[in-house]
């Protein structure tokens, strides 16, 4: 449990670090060889955490410590999901291992969506700055004086 939580916290902190760096780095600045190598190692380690370590730690926790095995069937909420093979009405068996694997797949989908969103935010960081600058200009007259009384 500690390993799973620690790896999630480290991944979140590293993701926040990307946004902190993106707000400081000027758009269009040439990248040096050293910056490119540091960035590549940083992103590789973050991807390694997100796609390798976190799902592995989840599966290890669920299967070893919580006993999510293939021979345990889900009988949740009384007899609502009791399978036909066990005398219930639910049409198929749901094992705890299937639940564990589904949670791992959800981790992968969430990480992929977050990665796509983060790279889109990185690529559009100059557009957001331009939009803020346009909004600030819209509040001033052509002579540079504020149009709205400030106070």
Q: What is the pLDDT of residue 93?
A: 87
- pLDDT at residue 151 greater than cutoff 60: no
Rounded Cα–Cα distance for residues 31 and 39 (Å): 10
Rounded Cα–Cα distance for residues 102 and 104 (Å): 5
Q: What is the pTM of this model?
A: 0.77
- pLDDT at residue 107 greater than cutoff 70: yes
Question: What is the per-residue pLDDT across 30-75, written as a single tens digit (0 to 9) for each?
Answer: 999 999 999 999 999 999 999 999 999 999 999 999 999 988 888 7
Contact, 71 vs 78, CB < 8 A? Answer: no
Rounded Cα–Cα distance for residues 100 and 114 (Å): 21
Contact, 18 vs 60, CB < 8 A? Answer: no
Over its C-alpha atoms, the chain yields an Rg (Å, rounded) of: 25
Question: What is the per-residue pLDDT across 122-142, written as a single tens digit (0 to 9) for each?
Answer: 888 777 767 766 666 666 677
Contact, 49 vs 2, CB < 8 A? Answer: no
Place of tokens 């730690």: 57
The per-residue pLDDT of the chain, averaged, comes to 87
């Amino acid at each position: 449990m500690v390993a799973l939580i620690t790896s999630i916290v480290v991944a979140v902190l590293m993701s926040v670090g990307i946004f902190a760096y993106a707000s400081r780095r000027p758009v269009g600045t040439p990248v040096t060889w050293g910056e490119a190598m540091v960035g590549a190692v940083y992103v590789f380690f973050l991807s390694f955490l997100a796609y390798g370590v976190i799902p592995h730690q989840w599966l290890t926790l669920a299967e070893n410590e919580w006993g999510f095995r293939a021979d345990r069937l889900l009988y949740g909420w009384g007899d609502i999901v009791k399978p036909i093979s066990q005398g219930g009405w639910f049409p198929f068996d749901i094992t705890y291992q299937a639940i564990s694997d589904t949670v791992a797949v959800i981790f992968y989908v969430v990480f992929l969506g977050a990665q796509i969103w983060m790279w889109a935010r990185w690529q559009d960081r100059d557009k957001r700055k331009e939009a803020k600058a346009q909004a600030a200009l819209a509040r001033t007259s052509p002579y540079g004086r504020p149009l709205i009384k400030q106070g």
